[in-house]
Chain A
Amino acid sequence: MATITEKILAAHSGRAFVSPGDFANVSVDMVLANDITGPLAIREFRKLGVTRVFNPARVVMVPDHFIPNKDIPSAIQAQDIREFAREQGIVYFEAGRSGIEHVLLPEEGLVGPGHVVIGADSHTCTYGALGAFATGMGSTDIAAAMATGDIWMKVPPTIKLVFHGSLQPWTSGKDLILHAIGDIGIDGALYSAMEFHGEAIQFMDMDGRFTMANMAIEAGAKAGVFEVDATTEEYLATHPQRAGTAPCRRYFTDSNADYSRIIEYDASTIEPVVAFPHLPSNVRPASTAGDVVIDQVVIGSCTNGRLSDLRIAAQILRGRSVHESLRCIIIPGSQRVYRQAVDEGLVHVFLDAGAVVSTPTCGPCLGGYMGILAPGERCLSTTNRNFVGRMGSPQSEVYLSSPAVAAATAIAGRISPPGNTYGESREEISW
């Protein structure tokens, strides 16, 4: 009778069951902050008059937004969380061993099935791909949870999204989630959990699932949740849980669970898409984009900075050149991804094509640094938000897409579906 979300929240609030709308005090398994939200959380934590965090193995701070430090104020913010991490003995990753938080935490085995994870970052919902209940909050919530190990929550209703059928060659998890956001709108899942099902999901790799869970927030959702299956288990086996983390538990939605809404899509008809400015819900097929000349392409972020994203980009860019009127910036999501991309020769492909390859950072995704847009410039990006001014000047424009569309666009100089560049059939290449 219960959904995954309800089961996890019941288990973490000492109840047999919870229902949507219930308020619950929920114990948390991992608490996260970054170099922007961490300093504020630390400031509020100090006001509580406690000296230690509830469990140092279950609090993590990741410097990633303006890291490596882009200026003196951001260096001071990074210093704040570094010093707090040393003082408290919490989990911390220094630049060079780090990455974008939502790429890093699953890789490092800090989050797993059945966990409740809260993070002072809205894309904390990414970990739902592993069968966790993970949600973003603000710094003050994080401060309170760092002290007490629990937090109040309102149990969300669950919306079930079913993607029937198999995907077209160039369609990815990014296209499915953008398509769904285009359909239900950016507040279409407000306060709800989105639960993903269907054949297209069963055959999707973990990276694709992370991408989809990541963007649940772009529909206003509190969480994006997947059931654990063989693909998840394989990921967990190769990314073992770190010592001191909470035990994992697999939850499955009951067949007669109450969903607030069930939405079904025929995934086989979904083409690669692009979200036009200035909302992630402004979605159209890339093939109908018209002639949109692009000045900059960014491939990276917590949405699409994982290895399979870079592999697809490399598959398209191999032997080709970035269009002469455009810059292409490629940012591996973590040090591990970066290393693997070097080992597999992907970085060579990018450099040969004339792309910029950077150390892991959020950088341009939030208009921080490493690719800020001038007035009138257009960027096509594999990130998750295209609000006014998101990547620079308020007079610039951001278009969102998958890495495949981004790579094809980088070559063409204008928005281009990958089929145009690479052909309609995509043979699997093993690197």
Chain B
Amino acid sequence: MPNNLPIPFFWVTILILALLYIREVILNRPASKLKAHTLEEAQQKALEIIHSAIKKSQDITSQGKLMDERWKENFQKTLDQNQTQIMSETQELFEKFEENLSNYLTQTQTQSTRAIELELKAARSLIDNYKSSQLRVVDENIIAILEKTLSIILSKKLTLADQMDLVYKALEKAKAEKFFV
């Protein structure tokens, strides 16, 4: 845990300094009761300081652990929230994408269908026009064809008597219609 490292390191440094101070006091002062007392007092004080430092270190460590757990908890909570949000947003995005895609496909299908229907209508119209024009041509020519066919067939099939019979019938008709007035 990177946050916990400086705290013991700080207290160990203080401890070393305290020991150095004690050593200095012991080494530099003359051996006397006062010195001993002072030394003892200093030692006591140093021990208190060390004890206090250790306690504080433990507090800080426990506090750090607690914070770490809280942080973890918060992190997990945030992560969960984010995950839920991301999932929700992703779901929403997918739904929107699906909807857009569906709309696009429907629109494209409608457009395609409309285009095909128009093409079909145009093609049908073209066919109808062609059919009409061809039928008109047939109608116009059918009598001519029939005329020609009859002319060829009747000229071979009709005997002179038949032909003359038709002539007399025509003359009778003309007489009845008073053509010879």
Whether chain B is bound by chain A comes out as no
